[in-house]
Amino acid sequence: MSSKKKVAFICVHNSCRSQIAEALGKLWASDVFESYSAGTEVKDRINQDAVRLLKEIYGVDMEKVQYSKLIDDIPKVDVVVTMGCNVQCPYLPCEKRVDWGLDDPSGKSDDDYRALIADIESKIKLLAEELK
């Protein structure tokens, strides 16, 4: 169904927060919008703590279908969600732009990751309600 909005989750390295958001968007909101993630730089792999915890919590293996990619690698989108990069996020044409202001959990504890993942899940569900 092509009437679904396309949502891009944008972060500098496209390795953790934006990847989690893409995975949870696919899990919780695929009936409402298509999820993409991208960054201005790429990493050689998705953050391994995020990969491990999404497998543990949801049974989702991000590495099977997702990879770190640049903004130019995704289609034109309707909604841009920036993660709170603390840097100037790149301009991407869209109808709606939101900044979630999420702290990068890299190098922090599993509890920090779990709190971030729960926060992203609730934001994904709210976004889906808004876009319905």
Q: What is the CATH number of the domain that holds 122?
A: 3.40.50.2300
Number of domains observed in the structure of the chain:
1
Alpha-carbon distance 114 to 56, whole Å? Answer: 11
Confidence at residue 90, expressed as pLDDT on a 0 to 100 scale: 66
Dihedral sign, CA of 62, 65, 71, 76? negative
Residue 25, judged by CB atoms within 10 A of its CB (0-12, 13-18, 19+), counts as: buried
Confidence of residue 54 (pLDDT cuts 50, 70, 90): very high
Predicted local distance difference test score (pLDDT) of residue 1: 45
Which structural domain range is residue 80 located in?
Answer: 5-131
pTM for this one? 0.95
Mean pLDDT over the full length of the chain? 93
